[in-house]
Amino acid sequence: MGSRQTSTVHGLRRENRARALWDLYLHGPGSRQRIGAGAGVSTGTVSNVVGDLMEQGLVQESGSVPSGGGRPSSIVQIDPGYAFVVGVDVGESSVLVELFDLAMQVRGRHRIPTELTRLAPAEVVEQIVAGVAAVLAQSGVATDDVLGVGVGVPGLVEHSPLAVVHAQTVGWDAVPLEALLHERTALPLAVDNGAKLLGQAEHWFGAARGAADVVVVLLGHGLGTSIFTRGSGAWAPMSSPGEWGHTAVVVDGQPCRCGARGCLEAYVGAGAVAARYDVLRGGPAEGPDDLETRVTELLARADSDPASATVLAELVRYLGAGIGNLVNVYSPSRVVLGGWLGRQVAELRMPELAAAAAQNALRTPFEDVELLRADLGADAVALGAATLPVGRFLSSGGQRDAVLGSRPA
């Protein structure tokens, strides 16, 4: 990761290009005045910078709005079709590849059902490569017009500097995924944890949008979080609590699939919920094999089935404690609860969840916090992954070459 090159007078222009682009990206089409105000530069400079960007074709005029008795603002925007990005979601049961334009509209989609635990990493790489080829073919987009491929994976991602994936739960031990992908594609790559990327998507486009300090909690089979704190807005990389699901909330408590005991995931993860229900019912129940379906159905009858109600209440208690912990540590102004299971819990028991969190949080940080359900579905992992090359592109000031980024030496 090269440090910010703002020492030279040339880097200055790049910085101002980047600011203009981020402004247009995050706040939508706007006038040159707004860009100037947001970036803290004079209107003269904005004219110059925007002129450059229009010449390059990245930015285009898009109408004008009246301005109360004066010359109307002419509105500029990023051309959505200037370039494209690919987002990949390597999930436990499928690999999803999506192609987006710069407005993050889906231009192509390709899903490959798979069982991650039974696949060698090399096979996953092949699926990704095939998926990328498929979405490009579908949409007729040329490889040269793709800025890069973002990939979301389960587990812990170590950047050293190429991404290496450690995902004990699916049997990936130090898989050099980025290096493997580099052998099979020339496109710039960016790999990160799927939960973090879903959080990123919520932060850019969903319920976490616009909040200064926000925590996104993702609850499904596993449990993860993304933290965005002041100052680390669009300009800085996001903060990265990796494996929050495996923090102890009951020292020496329930055994967890990670090998430790008392992890939060061992109380609120889908597997834990299903298992606890079986215990309450005195044995494994009949029902669908698929964990997601089973848990969904189970929770849906919480109003009629006492065991289900108990399971849900316990889930709320522990998840609330976990959220309380996050609030104490980060003092966010907003907490967003996502993931297929998290969204269901939010639907069914939001008030109870807030109360449980309040019980475990200090009054001061908690009284300012908003607890919300996530806007975006689970598919948004691919969207979040796609934000990675977009972010690089914008921060580079819209220079394609600069996006290349993490190539092996």
Partner DNA sequence: GCACTTAGTTCACGCCTTGAAAGAAGTGGG
Partner DNA sequence: CCCACTTCTTTCAAGGCGTGAACTAAGTGC
Its sign, for the CA torsion 65, 67, 69, 71, is: negative
Nearer to DNA, 2 or 282 (CB): 2
250 binds, among a copy of itself, DNA, none (CB under 5 to 8 A by kind): a copy of itself
43 binds, among DNA, a copy of itself, none (CB under 5 to 8 A by kind): DNA
Nearer to a copy of itself, 105 or 117 (CB): 117
Question: Closest approach of Cβ 140 to a copy of itself, in Å?
Answer: 39
Residue numbers 58-77 binding DNA by CB under 7 A: 64, 66-74
Nearer to a copy of itself, 240 or 406 (CB): 240
Question: Closest approach of Cβ 255 to a copy of itself, in Å?
Answer: 12
**DSSP structural state of residue 92:** S
Query: Measuring CA to CA, which residue among 253, 347, 337, 254 is closest to residue 299?
Result: 347
Question: Which residue intervals of 70-186 are DSSP H helices?
Answer: 121-139, 177-184
Instruction: Single out the residue of 4, 28, 33, 288 in contact with DNA (rule: CB under 7 A).
Output: 33
Question: Closest approach of Cβ 293 to a copy of itself, in Å?
Answer: 28
Burial class, 303, CB count within 10 angstroms (exposed 0-12 / middle 13-18 / buried 19+): exposed
**DSSP structural state of residue 188:** -
Task: Write down the residue that tokens 């990389």 correspond to.
Answer: 237
| CA 54/CA 31 separation, integer angstroms | 14
Strand runs labelled E in 350-393: 370-373
Show the CA angle centred on residue 393, arms to residues 388 and 224, nearest 5°: 15
Strand runs labelled E in 298-377: 334-338, 370-373
236 binds, among a copy of itself, DNA, none (CB under 5 to 8 A by kind): a copy of itself
Residue numbers 2-31 binding DNA by CB under 7 A: 7-10, 12-13, 16, 31
Residue ranges binding a copy of itself (CB under 8 A):
1, 3, 5-9, 12, 15-16, 19, 39-41, 45, 156, 158, 166, 168, 174, 229, 231, 236-237, 239-244, 246-253, 258-262, 267, 317-318, 321-322, 324-325, 328-331, 359-365
Question: End-to-end CA distance of the chain, in Å?
Answer: 13
Per CB under 7 A, 402 contacts DNA: no
- The phi and psi torsions of 312 (rounded to 5 degrees) equal -65, -40
Question: Closest approach of Cβ 60 to DNA, in Å?
Answer: 12
Nearer to DNA, 23 or 98 (CB): 23
Which secondary structure element, helix H or strand E, spans residue 337, and what is its range? strand 334-338
| CA 162/CA 151 separation, integer angstroms | 13
Stretch that binds DNA, among 47-55, 215-223, 309-317, 390-398 (CB under 7 A): 47-55
For DNA, the binding residues (CB under 7 A) are 7-10, 12-13, 16, 31-33, 40-51, 64, 66-74
